[in-house]
C-alpha cells in the first residue's frame, strides 16, 4: 500500500513537472516558467493535478507544491481551484515548507469566473418527526419539531454552537431575556472583577436542566460594551443562584446605566424550553439528539453543522524568546470563499485582550496567520460563519488584506494581534485596504470590523465598514491598571491590590511578566504598548453602534504613540456617544481632516484634534486630558442645535486649550454667546462664530466657498473624493442617494 502510494505520487510529480516545462530524472532542472496546478471537487488526489486531471483537495495540491519545491522549483506557483464547495473536517495547514521562494509566490486562487467555497459543514440527515415531547417544550412547538439522532455528539465529543440551512444561519433557541438581580457595588472600580461566576436571577428565569453542559447564558455582565457566552455549571432554583463553568469578564450583574433601566441583558440558550419559533434548534449532547423546528414543513437536505472554528491556518515556527521566529512567506489566497466556521468557545485557559472583545492567540478565525510574512489575501469572501474572518497572530509582517468582502460573521472581521506586552514587537507593517466589512458580531455583539492590538505601523485605508452592533475599529493595548498601577483621576487608591489577580483573563494573561518587570507608572507601562504609528485613513463608516452602548466608530486605548485617524467619513452611528474616541492611556495621537456627522470626538490624555469637520456634535473633553493637547482649526457645526460646542468648564478647557476653531449653529445668539463664554474662560482667543459657507452641504459638497471664515483661521479644505472604496467612493455614492437623508438619520 505504501509503495503504491509513493509510485502514485511520483507519477503525479512527473506529470506536473512535464507540464511546467521541466525535465525529470536525477539531474532535473526546474524551469523558470510559472507552474499551474488544478483542483476540483470532483477530482482525485491521485491525479496529475492538470486541468483535465485535477486534484480533489487543497491539501493534495499543497503536498504536490511541496514536492515541486523539493525538486528545486523556485518560480511562481499557482494552484487554481475550480468552482464548487470543498468540504473539510480538518484545518488546512500551511507551514514554512509551503512558503513561496524568495521573490516568488505560491498562490491558491479561484479559477477565472468561478467560486471555490471552503466549508467545514457536515450535512445532517435522518430526521424524524418528534412524537414524544421532552420536558419543557413550549406548547407552540408541539407537533412541529423534528429530531435527528447524533450519537457522535454524546459526551460533548462534537458540540457545535452554530447551525446552518444552506448558508443561512439558524438561530439557536434563546429564552426571553431577564435582568440579573445581582448588582456590582462600584462598577467603575476593581469590584467589577469580584465573584465572576455567580449569577443571581429572578424566579423562573432558569431551572436545573438535565443537560447543563449544553446550556449557555448570553449576558452583558455589569457593563454595556460587551457580551459573554458562558456555560452553566449549576442552578439552584430555590436560592435563585446559578454558577457558570467559566468566569465572566466582569461580575454577572445588571447594568447600572440609567438608559438601560428595564432592559433585559441576560438570556439562556440551547434549552428546549426556549424552542418556540420556526428555525430554532437545540443540541442535547447527553442524549445525542438535535431538535429543530424547521421553517418549512420538514427539514430539507441542507441542514448542516460546522466541524471546525479554524478552516485554514498559515503557521510558522513561533518562539517564546525574543528571536528565532520563522514565518511562512509569500503565500497568496485569491478569490476564495470561506463559510461555515463555528463560534468560539472559551475555556479556563483562554486569554482575552481588551474587554474580552477578542481572544489572544486563539483558533477562532476562518483564515488564520500565525507566524507569517509577505502574504496576501485578496478578493476573497468571508461570510456566514460563526467566528472571525481573518486574524494574524504573534509574528505577522507585511500581510496584505485587499479587496475582500466580510459579512455575517459571528466575531471580528479582521484582527491583528501581536505578542502580549513585553520586549517582543514583531506584528507590524500590515495593510488592510479596500475591503467591504459589514454585519460582523452577529453572535459576539461587541466584535469590531477591524481590531488592531499590540500591532504597529499598519495601514487601514479605503475600507467600507457598516452595519455593526458595536465599534467599527479598535486599536488598543494593555492599560497600566493591569500592571497594578493606579490612575489618580479614575481609580481608587487601593488599586495596586489588583495586581494579585494576575490570572485574570482580560489582558493579564497576555503580559510577558518576566520582561516587563513591575512598571511604577503609566509611562513605564506604555513602553510595552506596541500598537504605534497605525494609520486609519479614507475609510467610510456608517450604521455602527446599533445595539450595545458606550462605544464609538473609531476607538483608541493605550495603543501606543503616533497613531493617526485621517480623512475618514463617519455617519449614522446610532448609539455612539461620540464617533471618534481617545480612551484611557492613549497618548500622542492625531485626528485630522475627518468628516463626522453625529455626536463628535472625545478627547482624553495628550492627543491632537485638528482640521476636522464635525457636523451635528461637539468635542468632549475628559478630565484625564493633559495639558499639551491640541484642539484647533476644526469646524464645529451644530446640526441641529445642541447645548454646547465643547464642555464649558474652565478646568477642562484649560487642558485642551481650544483655539482657531470655527463654531456655528443656526441660533446665532446662542452660538455667539457660547463663544463669548469660552473667551471669558481664557480660550478661543482667535476662534470665530460664523457659517463655514460650504458650497452645498445638503448635497454633499463640503468645499469652502471663497470668503469662508474658515479660511481666515487656517482651516484647510478636505479632499472628500478619496474617501471610501477605491471603486465606489463614499461621497459620489451618497450624493446619488440624497446626501443629507443618507448621512443624517435621527
Q: What is the pLDDT of residues 638-692, one digit of tens each?
A: 877 667 788 888 999 999 999 999 999 999 999 999 999 999 999 999 999 999 9
110-149 burial: b if 16+ Cβ within 10 Å, else e? bbeeeebbbbbbeebeebeebeeebeebbeebeebbbbbe
pLDDT at 499: 53
Does residue 427 carry a pLDDT above 50?
A: yes
**What is the rounded CA–CA span in Å between residue 150 and residue 45?**
30
Does residue 23 carry a pLDDT above 60?
A: no
Same domain assignment for residues 125 and 265: no
> Using omega within 30 degrees of 0 as the cis cutoff, is the peptide bond preceding 247 cis?
no
More confident residue, 30 or 347: 347
More confident residue, 393 or 31: 393
Query: Do 163 and 302 meet the contact criterion of CB atoms below 8 Å apart?
Result: no
Greatest CA separation for the chain: 92
Q: Could you tell me how many residues make up the chain?
A: 746
Give a yes or no: residue 629 inside a domain.
no
**What is the rounded CA–CA span in Å between residue 641 and residue 670?**
9
pLDDT band at 500 (very low <50, low <70, confident <90, very high): low
Identity of the highest mean pLDDT range in 11-20, 85-94, 126-135: 85-94
Listed residues 511, 528, 545: the one ending a domain: 528
Does residue 382 carry a pLDDT above 60?
A: yes
For the residues 163-179, what does the mean pLDDT come to? Answer: 97
pLDDT at 10: 45
**What is the rounded CA–CA span in Å between residue 193 and residue 502?**
12
Percent residues over pLDDT 90 in the chain: 84
How does pLDDT run across 328-339, given as a tens digit for each residue? Answer: 999 999 999 999
Same domain assignment for residues 288 and 159: yes
Listed residues 493, 528, 563: the one ending a domain: 528
Please give the grid coordinates belonging to residue 671.
Answer: 452660538
More confident residue, 187 or 359: 359
How does pLDDT run across 442-458, given as a tens digit for each residue? Answer: 999 999 999 999 999 99
Please give the grid coordinates belonging to residue 89.
Answer: 473536517
Give a yes or no: residue 285 inside a domain.
yes
More confident residue, 603 or 256: 603
Same domain assignment for residues 169 and 282: yes
Torsion sign across C-alpha atoms 653, 656, 661, 664:
negative
91 to each of 58, 87, 286, how far by Cα in Å? 11, 11, 27
Does residue 5 carry a pLDDT above 50?
A: no
Smallest Cα–Cα separation from 367: which of 291, 403, 313?
A: 313
Give a yes or no: residue 9 inside a domain.
no
Same domain assignment for residues 290 and 260: no
**What is the rounded CA–CA span in Å between residue 337 and residue 383?**
8
Same domain assignment for residues 289 and 258: no
pLDDT at 488: 65
For the residues 694-716, what does the mean pLDDT come to? Answer: 96
More confident residue, 593 or 626: 593
Same domain assignment for residues 217 and 265: yes
Does residue 174 carry a pLDDT above 80?
A: yes
Q: Half-sphere exposure (CA, 13 Å, Cβ side) for 55? A: 26
Give a yes or no: residue 244 inside a domain.
yes
**Domain coverage including residue 166:** 121-173+275-306
Name the strand (E) or helix (H) holding 62. Answer: helix 58-70
Give a yes or no: residue 232 inside a domain.
yes
Query: Do 137 and 147 meet the contact criterion of CB atoms below 8 Å apart?
Result: no
What SS3 class is residue 204?
coil
Cβ neighbours, 10 Å, residue 2: 6
Same domain assignment for residues 152 and 213: no
Same domain assignment for residues 241 and 290: no
Instruction: Identify any residues that bridge with 609 across adjacent strands, giving them in sequence order.
Output: 591, 631
Same domain assignment for residues 234 and 290: no
For the residues 455-480, what does the mean pLDDT come to? Answer: 97
For the residues 380-390, what does the mean pLDDT come to? Answer: 98
Does residue 285 carry a pLDDT above 90?
A: yes
Cβ neighbours, 10 Å, residue 104: 17
Query: Do 474 and 379 meet the contact criterion of CB atoms below 8 Å apart?
Result: no
| Extended beta strands in 418-568, E state | 427-428, 431-433, 436-438, 450-453, 459-461, 464-466, 473-476, 535-537, 540-542, 554-557, 564-566
Same domain assignment for residues 198 and 238: yes
Give a yes or no: residue 649 inside a domain.
no
Give a yes or no: residue 456 inside a domain.
no
How does pLDDT run across 231-252, given as a tens digit for each residue? Answer: 999 999 999 999 999 999 999 9
Give a yes or no: residue 217 inside a domain.
yes
pLDDT band at 59 (very low <50, low <70, confident <90, very high): very high
Same domain assignment for residues 126 and 261: no
The rounded mean pLDDT for the chain is: 92
Measured in whole angstroms, the distance separating CA 634 from the mean position of its chain's CA atoms is 30
Instruction: Identify any residues that bridge with 368 across adjacent strands, giving them in sequence order.
Output: 313, 391
For the residues 42-50, what does the mean pLDDT come to? Answer: 97
Query: Do 37 and 16 meet the contact criterion of CB atoms below 8 Å apart?
Result: yes
Q: Which residue has the cell 428565569?
A: 205
Same domain assignment for residues 279 and 302: yes
Percent residues over pLDDT 70 in the chain: 93
Domains held by the chain: number: 3
Does residue 623 carry a pLDDT above 90?
A: no
**What is the rounded CA–CA span in Å between residue 486 and residue 520?**
10
What SS3 class is residue 526?
helix
Instruction: Identify any residues that bridge with 694 across adjacent strands, giving them in sequence order.
Output: 704
Give the predicted TM-score (pTM) of the model.
Answer: 0.95
Nearest 10 degrees: Cα torsion 557, 558, 560, 564: 10
Amino acid at each position: 500500500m505504501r509503495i503504491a502510494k509513493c509510485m502514485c505520487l511520483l507519477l503525479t510529480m512527473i506529470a506536473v513537472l512535464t507540464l511546467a516545462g521541466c525535465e525529470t530524472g536525477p539531474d532535473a532542472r526546474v524551469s523558470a516558467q510559472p507552474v499551474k496546478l488544478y483542483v476540483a471537487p470532483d477530482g482525485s488526489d491521485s491525479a496529475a493535478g492538470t486541468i483535465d486531471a485535477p486534484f480533489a483537495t487543497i491539501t493534495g495540491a499543497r503536498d504536490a507544491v511541496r514536492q515541486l519545491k523539493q525538486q528545486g522549483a523556485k518560480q511562481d506557483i499557482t494552484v487554481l481551484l475550480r468552482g464548487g464547495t470543498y468540504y473539510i473536517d480538518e484545518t488546512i495547514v500551511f507551514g514554512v515548507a509551503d512558503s513561496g521562494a524568495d521573490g516568488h509566490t505560491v498562490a491558491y486562487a479561484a479559477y477565472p469566473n468561478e467560486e471555490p467555497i471552503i466549508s467545514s459543514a457536515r450535512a445532517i440527515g435522518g430526521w424524524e418527526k418528534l412524537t414524544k415531547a421532552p420536558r419543557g417544550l413550549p406548547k407552540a412547538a408541539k407537533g412541529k419539531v423534528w429530531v435527528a439522532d447524533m450519537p457522535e455528539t454524546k459526551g460533548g465529543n462534537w458540540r457545535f454552537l452554530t447551525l446552518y440551512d444552506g448558508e443561512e444561519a439558524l438561530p439557536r433557541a434563546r429564552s426571553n431575556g431577564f435582568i440579573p438581580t445581582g448588582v456590582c457595588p462600584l462598577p467603575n472600580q476593581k469590584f467589577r472583577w469580584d465573584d465572576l461566576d455567580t449569577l443571581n436571577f429572578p424566579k423562573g428565569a432558569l431551572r436545573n436542566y438535565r443537560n447543563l453542559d449544553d446550556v449557555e447564558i448570553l449576558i452583558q455582565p455589569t457593563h454595556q460594551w460587551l457580551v459573554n457566552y458562558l456555560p452553566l455549571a449549576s442552578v439552584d432554583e430555590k436560592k435563585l443562584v446559578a454558577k457558570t463553568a467559566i468566569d465572566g469578564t466582569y461580575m454577572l450583574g445588571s447594568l447600572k446605566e440609567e438608559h438601560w433601566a428595564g432592559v433585559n441583558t441576560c438570556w439562556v440558550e440551547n434549552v428546549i424550553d426556549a424552542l418556540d419559533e420556526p428555525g430554532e434548534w437545540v443540541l442535547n449532547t447527553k442524549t445525542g439528539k438535535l431538535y429543530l423546528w424547521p421553517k418549512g414543513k420538514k427539514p430539507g437536505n441542507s441542514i448542516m453543522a460546522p466541524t471546525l472554528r479554524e478552516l485554514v491556518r498559515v503557521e510558522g515556527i513561533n518562539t517564546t524568546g525574543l528571536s528565532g521566529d520563522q514565518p511562512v512567506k509569500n503565500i497568496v489566497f485569491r478569490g476564495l470563499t470561506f463559510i461555515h466556521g463555528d463560534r468560539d468557545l472559551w475555556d479556563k485557559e483562554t486569554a482575552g485582550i481588551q474587554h474580552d472583545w477578542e481572544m489572544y492567540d486563539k483558533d477562532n478565525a476562518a483564515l488564520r496567520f500565525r507566524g507569517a510574512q509577505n502574504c496576501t489575501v485578496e478578493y476573497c469572501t468571508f461570510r456566514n460563519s460563526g467566528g472571525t474572518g481573518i486574524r494574524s497572530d504573534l509574528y505577522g509582517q507585511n500581510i496584505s488584506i485587499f479587496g475582500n468582502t466580510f459579512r455575517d460573521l459571528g466575531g471580528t472581521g479582521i484582527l491583528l494581534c501581536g505578542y502580549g506586552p513585553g520586549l517582543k514587537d514583531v506584528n507590524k507593517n500590515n495593510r488592510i485596504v479596500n475591503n467591504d466589512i459589514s454585519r460582523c458580531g452577529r453572535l459576539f455583539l461587541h466584535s469590531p470590523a477591524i481590531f488592531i492590538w499590540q500591532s504597529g505601523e499598519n495601514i487601514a485605508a479605503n475600507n467600507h465598514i457598516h452595519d455593526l452592533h458595536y465599534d467599527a475599529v479598535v486599536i488598543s493595548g494593555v492599560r497600566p491598571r493591569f500592571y497594578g498601577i493606579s490612575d489618580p483621576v479614575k481609580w481608587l487608591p487601593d488599586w495596586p491590590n489588583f495586581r494579585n489577580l494576575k490570572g485574570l483573563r482580560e489582558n493579564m494573561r497576555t503580559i510577558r511578566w518576566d520582561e516587563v518587570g513591575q512598571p511604577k507608572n503609566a509611562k513605564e507601562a506604555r513602553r510595552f504598548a506596541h500598537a504605534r504609528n497605525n494609520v486609519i485613513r479614507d475609510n467610510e463608516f456608517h450604521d455602527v453602534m446599533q445595539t450595545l452602548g458606550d462605544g464609538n466608530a473609531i476607538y483608541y486605548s493605550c495603543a501606543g504613540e503616533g497613531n493617526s485617524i485621517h480623512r475618514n467619513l463617519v455617519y449614522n452611528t446610532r448609539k455612539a456617544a461620540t464617533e471618534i474616541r481617545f480612551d484611557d492611556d492613549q497618548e500622542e495621537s492625531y485626528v485630522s481632516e475627518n468628516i463626522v456627522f453625529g455626536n463628535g470626538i472625545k478627547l482624553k490624555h495628550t492627543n491632537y484634534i485638528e482640521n476636522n469637520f464635525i457636523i451635528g456634535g461637539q468635542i468632549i473633553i475628559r478630565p484625564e486630558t493633559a495639558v499639551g493637547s491640541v484642539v484647533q482649526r476644526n469646524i464645529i457645526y451644530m446640526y441641529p442645535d445642541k447645548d454646547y460646542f465643547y464642555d464649558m468648564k474652565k478646568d477642562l478647557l484649560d487642558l485642551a486649550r481650544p483655539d482657531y476653531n470655527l463654531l456655528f449653529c443656526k441660533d446665532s445668539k446662542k452660538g455667539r454667546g457660547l463663544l463669548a463664554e469660552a473667551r471669558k474662560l481664557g480660550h478661543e482667543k482667535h476662534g470665530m462664530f460664523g457659517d463655514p459657507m460650504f458650497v452645498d452641504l445638503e448635497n454633499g459638497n463640503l468645499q469652502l466657498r471663497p470668503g469662508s471664515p474658515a479660511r481666515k483661521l487656517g482651516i484647510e479644505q478636505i479632499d472628500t473624493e478619496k474617501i471610501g472604496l477605491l471603486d465606489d467612493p463614499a461621497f459620489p455614492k451618497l450624493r446619488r442617494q440624497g446626501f443629507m437623508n443618507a448621512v443624517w438619520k435621527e
